[in-house]
Amino acid sequence: MDFLYASLFSLFVLVVSYSLHFFLYHSKLAEDHKLLPAGRIGWPVVGESFEFLVSGWKGHPEKFIFDRMSKFSPIAFRTSLMLENVAVLCGAQGNKFLFSNENKLVQVWWPSSVDKIFPSTNKTYKAQTMKMRKILPNFIKPEALQRYVPIMDVVTQRHFADGWDGKEEIVTYELTRNFAFTLACKIFVSIDDLERARYLSCPFESIVTGIFSIPIDLPGTPFRRGINASNFIRKELIAIVKQRKIDLDEGKATPTQDVLSHMILFRDENGKLLEEHDIADKILALLIGGHDTASSTSAFIVKYLAELPEIYNGVYKEQMEIAKSKAPGELLNWEDLSKMKYSWRVACEVMRLVPPVQGAFREAITDFMYNGYSIPKGWKLYWSANSTHKNHEFFPEPEKFDPSRFEGNGPAPYTFVPFGGGPHMCPGKEYARLEILVFMHHLVRRFKWEKIIPDEQIVFNPMPSPAKGLPIRIYPHKV
């Protein structure tokens, strides 16, 4: 009981302290900045964070954005999220401004929770991501990824043989998460053991939820669970790094076999090797991307193909033409994936309706004006994929599933942003494209299916997922 009382008292002190800061600070802002975007700051301490999160939990994250665009301005509005003053810049114009002014007027920003979940020798996550982008180009550019297509094919075939074949019903999201993580383990750190990959995958959902939670470090909170999960995974990865160093020295591993070997041998501009915990944190970040982004999109491809037989038939026809062109046992290659144009338009429409990344933060590095509004230095800014993806101004009948939106030149610039944009566009975009297309190829070649829960809700926490995991009844094609 003493511990409970102490925890509650600590929380009370935190709330009172932040409340005082909240009222004094915002009173000063009202005096100093007459041209701030219109909006509301919500409750003391938490601001509008709760409303922001709840709209996602209820399956409609766009409601938070569109309600305020309607009430305050379709261009920009002011709110308070993650204990920070935030200006939300809306529409294609807002996306273009933030993406094109990276490191000029704004810089990437993550909540303080990120540095606690990814503590890397007191360096900020921002510095780590910048270094990551120097390390990864040799592995994530299209010409480098070509050699991974056959490997992806082998892993994908094994996934369907182990998890889908012989089953009458499966829970889709559980399997797509296992698939995406297993593939990431193979490509990034050469882990082939399925049980080992599953063991490592268990804590990842807690890490992602913790990053986007209110950073209250008390037992049982999502933030604390995120920290604990990160510490567990990091220890496992450091052990993997140590073993790989030994294998490289003994010639049992090669310098070019995967991202891990490359990171171990990488030297920075001063000729220094990366420390083991730095490597572990970078691999952790890559595995998080592999665990959530493509797994979510793959699951929702299953959902929409079940609901839309004509779309399924179009994907099936395209994939069977490719399958018939292959010799028995021949693996997919880069040229095969380049022929999957309709399938990729379908995947893009899925990502428009259910973007794997809802948006991201930036930080103002100087005072500037945006469309007549004053944005003070230090303020945080947020771009939202839904401010364009589900906006009838950019996508007529935005709730309608229509892959033809991506024919020809596709949507207007800065309107379709499932991977962000600018210098900090998701570096794994091309990797995700390959993974999704290989998954679609084997999915439709093997099965038709139907949803068991017809009106299953989508939950955003913060990544989108089916509320019940998308259980389906599967029907193998007759050979």
- Convert the pLDDT of each residue in 306-364 to its tens digit: 999 999 999 999 999 999 999 999 999 999 999 999 999 999 999 999 999 899 999 99
Decide if pLDDT at 433 tops 60.
Answer: yes
**Rounded Cα distance, 209 and 205, in Å:** 6
Q: How many helices (H) and strands (E) does the chain have?
A: 20, 12
Helix (H, G, I), strand (E, B) or coil at 43: strand
Q: What percent of the chain has pLDDT over 70?
A: 86
> Nearest CA to 259 among 419, 126, 145, 130?
145
> Three-class SS of residue 21?
helix
Dihedral sign (CA 129, 132, 134, 139) = negative
Report the top-level CATH class of 35-474. Answer: mainly alpha
Residue 185 annotated as binding site? no
Q: What is the mean pLDDT of the chain?
A: 86
d(CA 183, CA 153): 10
Please name every residue paired with 360 in a beta bridge, in sequence order, or none if there are none: 383
Question: What does the pLDDT read at residue 8?
Answer: 39
> What pLDDT shows up at residue 425?
62
Q: Which residue has the higher pLDDT, 9 or 38?
A: 38
Q: Where are the domains of the chain?
A: 35-474
